[in-house]
Structure 1
């Protein structure tokens, strides 16, 4: 019986989604007569250590995964569970995404006790978010909103809201669902108003390319639909060279009447919301769809926007 060590960030959300995924894997192992034991190893990442500045100022890709990937390469852990939206497009040599489980709700959500929805928030409402992507789209929606940076885990952000530091906070709905806090959500923000981050709501299970046994095990977790839609989103991310410091959004969905077809919508914005570029494309090949949307955005000036943000 092989004992498998699983790497995870040490936040409550990261450990919760890691343990939920391991529980799924245990059930799948039992159903397939496979004998494995699992142990979680929490790892502190650079993104967890630096909490006093905005994500965009910390910069750099792989802010929440680099130390975990090093543990994989050093064979201290056997696989790791990340939020897909934290994953850079290019992985270190020797590592692969071994599985993409079923996606949770990809939408952003608003939490407030001042209104029933984003639209009903009072004039000049102070809104907390750590995401340039959310901030840009929100400013484009309502320029009167006062967008302020908020860092820390979900608990910390909810406490700051309760203490009156903000009128509302924006979070990924998936994290609230996984924590069992659906009832705290005031309203969901439609993708048409605020396009999610690349891979939002999905998980990435990363492992060593050479570990065939673990790769085979992880395939039990893989969801082909989520894998395809996220592949389209990540192809766009790769071509636009996007990191945490760039307002990029993307969301792909399969067609209900023809699951071989998917539609990807991509977005690049100026941080102040003064310019928001959006493009959509449909097709059967996720990589090609991602390339088409990225190219359409670049043709409209997305490249210049991204350069200005990065400077």
Structure 2
């Protein structure tokens, strides 16, 4: 699977079609540990059938048998097989092997309760029309989507929406948050409000997680419909030196030099002297293509956190 980065919104139906096509190529194999072996070509034999392994799946297998993944990647192929098989022989219990096409995409504990990207989208958005705008990012490790209100909720082109996050390979939790999206800068601000936020590990029944997500989505849509007005309200809060404020934000929230530079770069695209402009720069930096998804998501969530703190009169800087 080739990673797809955030871009302009597409129709929700297009997103569903891509997720459905991916699901058709996927297979789960619950197996005993003694039904799994590595061969000298780094192929994982599952019940005797050889499968190529994605790097991240080999990392998971290494963790499962308690071999440092960095060491395993440096080993010649025959030594990889020798090491892995030696410890697989001592491993008891069951594993969940997740396959896509012919490749092993994940090696997980049998306790892992998969929530598919497709079922998350269909459950949470079951009443949402197919032409609803959605931005999304999809890679072998993660899926995130921003599903937007069809029409703007402010004169500045701001939409309410939902943020969904998931991994089918054990690399992140199931997430749902309210958000506000600003068309002019492809800018999503994620609100980490506990009343409209869901974060669940893949350790409970998938149907229970999906039921929670469906219920939480109703509250999140209502929260999202109010967000544009809340964001607009901070235009009246003056910030005398926005670039200095952004530098202090980078220090206060321990963002590091790459994210700090992204804040300044984003601000200079659309400068201004209000708290709105500062928050806008933080969330706009969350689109910087040179940053990892975790960093971009952190910036979009930080924008929501600053907005929430400022509204409550608490220290945000």
Q: TM-score range by the shorter chain?
A: under 0.3
Q: If each structure's helix is expressed as a fraction of its own residues, which one has the higher value?
A: 2
> 1 or 2 for the larger relative contact order (CA 8 Å, sep ≥6)?
1
Structure of greater Rg: 2
The normalised TM-score by structure 1 is 0.25
